[in-house]
Amino acid sequence: MNHLRFLTPQDMRILITLALCQLFFVGLAQDQQVKLLQNIKSRNVQTLDGLWQVIVDPLENGYYNHRYQPKDNGYFQNRKMESPSDLIEYDFDSDLELMVPGDWNTQDEKLYYYEGTVWYKRSFDFKKQKDMSTFVYFEAVNYEAKVYLNGTLVGEHTGGFTPFQFDITDLLQAEDNFLVVKVDNKRKREAVPTVNTDWWNYGGITRSVHLVNVPKTHIEDYSVRLSSDRKHIEGWVSLSVKRSGEKITISVPELKLNEVTVTDEQGRAQFKVSAKPKLWAPSDPKLYDVILSAGDETIKDEIGFRTIETRGTEILLNGEGVFLKGISIHEEAPFKTGRVTSAEECRILLNWAKDLGCNFVRLAHYPHSEDMVREAEKMGLMVWSEIPVYWTILYENPETYQNAEKQLTTMIQRDKNRAGVVLWSIANETPLSDARNSFLGRLATKARSLDDSRLLTAALDTHSGSFGERVIDEPMGEVVDVIGINNYCGWYYQDPEKCVDVTWRNTYDKPMIMSEFGGGALQGYHGNSNERWTEEYQEAVYKYNIEMLKKIDFLAGTSPWILMDFRSPRRHLKKIQKDFNRKGLISEQGQRKKAFYTLQEYYK
């Protein structure tokens, strides 16, 4: 190291910066390579759902000491008094309890507006099995999670709507295991989404938690789909070990398919076999049992086969033109509000969409639960799935981009076998800038590298033309396959009746989905059609917008905003909004507004 004495201070600073950058990107690459188990509910699973003990910690005293340095003996140690003189200023077992899955905002009125840290603890026994690995799998935690088992940090995760897992095999005990999760939902400027949104920042372990037991050598991931020529079923299976010569069997009993293949040196096996399956479609959402076997493990999935593509301004499902009759949905629970926590609640929302006459749902503005996606697929609803690149995130910040890309990657990885998902969305209502264009362009490239069998979209604004003529010339129109447009004629501009005369021009030979339109109404509040917040005003907004839509010859679908009223801290009008965005066609109590039937008639 003697040569360093000849370096100037500026040279040293440059070397240190380069070294830190290299460490950052190596760590990032390792993080990105972490695999996620596919289809966990078909495996050997022990649920950790139910009551968890919690400690609300707004000052993070359970993590930092009075010098704001991380503690070695924080709340994650779950310490207990061993003598009367012990000083331990917390006790999970005598503190609060919350249900998992669930959000803390609607479970305790004192936490209604709370954003910060809550510690969760769950104790359990576990019977170890020889030659098995065990993962703790979280379907979602909002927003940052630090996970400890028996006092040891097993991993961290950022992002409120995507699953993650950690291998805990070597830390498990036969009895008295304790899992502690530090959950922090504070909004941050550099986060995805950022500090400013129009939905409630529900904190907590908002989706289910599982212990997943798999053989040491197990099926880690797979893709099974219809080929673009609709004559073959093709895909791949990857194992948890990089080893060649491992036999893998893929069978579809109903089609009498039984394909045997072997892995390459990366532990991955590809297959392609001739087949003529019945194609998945909204009118007949056919799913086949697909059985995958490798070594001591056999797992089953239900998979549909279909193709989705564009031709000019048309969207083609299985080679035939289809109009996407849709509605936007937030993951807000019907009747009780708060975060959706069960497949039953998913089915209620999706059945309301079916009652509307929908064949399509836009799951906004983040990846919804796997239950929501699977239930939609079973019902014959095509799905738009989205990551929360929303409004004004930091497009010039490299860490923000990596966060967004990781959420995109996980969303695609989890749902790539769902025939119902036809659109990946990379953004919503993002402002024009070179940095934003580069950011979204990179996301589009990443999405296509992960999955070339679906269409790419984004919900965009119009930036050209007048109130009388809207021109679609958004730069991202060049990048996406289907252009989503959010347009609130009759609500944020123009009187409703003037929407009929608005014309549209598309500078791209691509299909357009009107991804948002609509207006607000308090259910049960009636008056003249020119009186804001009445059901009659909302009905007029829909009526005149529908007449406008009928004249757009490149329109391929719609997903008005929104199915049900949802909580939003932006909405302060006390007698009307009461912390709810009132653009729903159905109230949070399940009561249908007049505009529901207006849209239903259009979809007929």
CATH number reported for the structural domain that contains residue 134 in this entry:
2.60.120.260
Both 209 and 271 in one domain: the answer is no
Measured between its terminal Cα atoms, the distance across the chain in Å is 78
Q: What is the CATH number of the domain that holds 384?
A: 3.20.20.80
Same domain, 332 and 289: no
User: In this structure, are 210 and 274 located in the same domain?
Assistant: no
pLDDT of residue 467: 78
| Statement to judge: residues 289 and 402 lie in one domain | no
Asked whether residue 19 is assigned to any structural domain, the reply reads no
d(CA 167, CA 306): 35
pLDDT tens track for 474-521: 999 999 999 999 999 999 999 999 999 999 999 999 999 999 999 999
DSSP letters, 97-153, are EEEESS-STTT-GGGTT--SEEEEEEEE-----TTEEEEEEES--BSEEEEEETTEE
Angle, helices 398-415 vs 9-32, to 10°: value is 10
Query: Does 4 score more than 70 pLDDT?
Result: no
Has residue 466 got a pLDDT over 90? Answer: no
Q: In the predicted model, is pLDDT for residue 150 greater than 60?
A: yes
Residue at 360 is within a domain: yes
- pLDDT of 55-83, one tens digit each? 999 999 999 999 999 999 999 999 999 99
- Residue 224: inside a domain: no
The answer to whether residue 11 is domain-embedded is: no
Which pLDDT belongs to residue 166? 98
State the CB neighbour count (10 A cutoff) for residue 524: 11
Residue type, 43: R
The one-character DSSP state at 465 is E
Query: Could you give the CA distance from residue 110 to residue 207 in angstroms, rounded to a whole number?
Result: 21
pLDDT score at 35: 79
My answer on whether 481 and 519 are in the same domain is: yes
Is residue 18 assigned to a domain?
A: no
What whole-number distance in Å separates Cα of residue 567 and Cα of residue 583?
Answer: 11
How far apart are the C-alpha atoms of 309 and 319, rounded to whole Å? Answer: 8
Question: Any long-range contacts for 12-19 (C-beta under 8 Å, 24+ apart)?
Answer: none
The position carrying tokens 């906004």 is 364
Average confidence score pLDDT of the chain: 93
CA gap 533, 522 in Å, rounded: 6
Q: Is 311 exposed, middle or buried (0-12, 13-18, 19+ CB in 10 A)?
A: exposed
Let me know whether 344 and 300 are in one domain: no
Average pLDDT of span 594-600: 98
Do residues 291 and 375 both lie within one domain? no
Please tell me whether residues 313 and 380 are part of one structural domain: yes
By three-state DSSP, how is residue 275 classified? coil
* Residues pairing with 536 in the sheet: none
Query: Quick one: 604 exposed, middle or buried, by C-beta within 10 A (0-12, 13-18, 19+)?
Result: exposed
Q: Are strands 360-363 and 324-329 parallel, antiparallel or unpaired?
A: parallel
How far, rounded to the nearest angstrom, does the alpha carbon of residue 378 sit from its chain's CA centroid? 19
Total residues belonging to the chain: 604
Residue whose token pair is 């990107």: 25
- Looking at the DSSP bridge assignments, the partners of residue 308 are 317
Burial class (CB in 10 A: 0-12, 13-18, 19+), 368: buried
User: Are both 466 and 571 inside the same structural domain?
Assistant: yes
- Residue type at 519 in one-letter notation: G
| Percent of the chain topping pLDDT 90 | 92
Structure confidence at residue 2 (pLDDT): 37
Phi-psi region of 521 (alpha: psi -120 to 50; beta: other; left: phi over 0): beta
In whole angstroms, give the CA distance from residue 311 to residue 257: 32
Nearest residue to 353 (alpha-carbon basis) of 584, 589, 568, 594: 584
Report pLDDT digits (tens) over 217-269.
999 999 999 999 999 999 999 999 999 999 999 999 999 999 999 999 999 99
Kindly tell me if the per-residue pLDDT of 8 is higher than 50: no
Q: Look at residues 1, 59, 587, 2 and name the one whose alpha carbon lies nearest to residue 337.
A: 587
465: which residues sit within 8 A by CB, 6+ positions away?
471, 505
What are the CA-CA distances from residue 310 to residues 457, 506, 554, 556 (Å)? 12, 16, 12, 10
Number of Cβ within a 10 Å radius of residue 465: 15
DSSP one-letter code for 390? B
Mark whether 451 and 525 lie in a shared domain. yes
The conformation of residue 586, written as its DSSP 8-state character, comes to B
Element (H, E) at 547: helix 535-549
Under the banding of pLDDT at 50, 70 and 90, the label for residue 3 is: very low
Q: What is the pLDDT of residue 14?
A: 40
Query: Tokens 């909204």 map to which residue?
Result: 282
State how far Cα 391 lies from the chain centre: 17
Token pair in block for residue 411? 């969303």
Question: Is residue 465's pLDDT more than 80?
Answer: no
- Summarize pLDDT for 520-551 with one digit per residue, the tens: 999 999 999 999 999 999 999 999 999 999 99
The tens digit of pLDDT for each residue in 91-130 reads 999 999 999 999 999 999 999 999 999 999 999 999 988 8
pLDDT at 281 over 50: yes
Edge to edge, what strands does the sheet with 209-215 contain?
A: 44-47, 209-215, 132-138, 164-167
When divided into structural domains, the chain yields a total of: 3
Mean pLDDT of 168-180: 96
The Cα angle at residue 399 between residues 191 and 408, in degrees rounded to 5: 70
Residue 359 predicted with pLDDT over 70: yes
CB 443 within 8 A of CB 428: no
Confidence of residue 34 (pLDDT cuts 50, 70, 90): low
Phi and psi angles of residue 152, each rounded to the nearest 5 degrees, phi first: -110, 130
* Cα separation, 225 vs 37, whole angstroms: 18
Residues 312-347: tens digit of each pLDDT: 999 999 999 999 999 999 999 999 999 999 999 999
Report the alpha-carbon distance of residue 10 to residue 19 in Å, rounded.
Answer: 14
Task: Assign residue 489 a region (left: φ > 0; alpha: ψ between -120 and 50; beta: otherwise).
Answer: beta
194 domain residue, yes or no: yes
Say if residues 38 and 97 touch (Cβ distance below 8 Å): no
Residues 6+ apart with CB under 8 A from 553: 313
Helix (H, G, I), strand (E, B) or coil at 172: coil
Residue 427 lies in a domain: yes
Rounded to 5 degrees, φ, ψ at 496 are -50, -45
CATH number of the domain encompassing residue 279: 2.60.40.10
pTM of the model: 0.93
**Helix (H), strand (E) counts: the chain:** 7, 33
Q: Is residue 53 part of a domain?
A: yes
Is 17's pLDDT higher than 50?
Answer: no
Q: Confidence class of residue 462 from pLDDT cuts 50, 70 and 90?
A: confident
What is the domain range of residue 147? Answer: 40-81+88-215
75 and 188 co-located in one domain: yes
Task: Tell whether the model's pLDDT for residue 28 goes beyond 60.
Answer: no
204 and 322 housed in the same domain: no
pLDDT score at 24: 40
Contacts of 113 (CB under 8 A, 6+ apart): 105, 569
Centre a 10 Å sphere on the Cβ of residue 570 and count the other Cβ atoms it contains: 12
